[in-house]
Amino acid sequence: MILLTESDGESLTTTAIAESTRVPADYAVKVLQLLGRSGLVHGQRGRGGGFVLDCDARTTTLLDVVDAIDPLERITVCPLGRVAHRKQLCPLHSRLDEVIGLLQESLGAMSLRSVVEGRRGPALCQPAGTRLTVSIAGSTRAGARPKTRRGAKKKKKKKSSSSRSGKR
């Protein structure tokens, strides 16, 4: 939605949106469909097609976007179904509910336009052409494989029944 806000009415293809936001194209399609059903974007098929905002970026909030895709849910009853917590949430779930409320309040206070205009540099997290490096199990190499835990036993491959029967 930020990318579409930045495009100022220019139509963007699903592929362009997926590449710019660094999400798989299939996922981008699903999200854009949800946003379309909510009236936040409009898609046009065919040559010259793509997606544009179908809402006012000055009044549409980040909470509106979140609610269209995967609404935040407040905790009103114990998620664990504990009988002792029927009348009142435990301190943990009570605090988590407060945090969800604060997140909703914060997202509801930011319009798409305010995010775009208030930025320093590109609105997306990483400038184009920057390679993302992920830290996995203490390694900082791109594409690094996770290390096995100390003391973890490696599984031995079982021989297939055909290889066992050939040795008899």
Could you tell me which residue, 28 or 146, shows the higher pLDDT?
A: 28
Calpha distance 6→140 (Å, rounded): 32
Q: Which amino acid type is present at position 14?
A: T
pLDDT score, position 119: 53
pLDDT one-digit tens code per residue, 83-92 = 888 888 899 9
pLDDT score, position 132: 41
Q: Yes or no: is domain 2-128 CATH 3.40.50.300? A: no
Could you tell me which residue, 139 or 57, shows the higher pLDDT?
A: 57
- What is the residue-wise DSSP string for 17-66? HHHHHT--HHHHHHHHHHHHHTTSEEEE-STT-EEEE-S-TTT-BHHHHH
Query: What is the average per-residue pLDDT within 155-159?
Result: 47
List the chain domain ranges: 2-128
pLDDT one-digit tens code per residue, 21-49 = 999 999 999 999 999 999 999 998 888 78
% of the chain residues with pLDDT over 90: 53
Query: What is the average per-residue pLDDT within 73-80?
Result: 90
Give the residue carrying structure tokens 């930045």.
Answer: 6
Calpha distance 20→18 (Å, rounded): 6
Chain-centroid distance of CA 98 in Å reads 22
Identify the three-state secondary structure at position 12. Answer: strand
Query: What is the average per-residue pLDDT within 145-164?
Result: 45
Could you tell me which residue, 126 or 11, shows the higher pLDDT?
A: 11
pLDDT score, position 38: 95
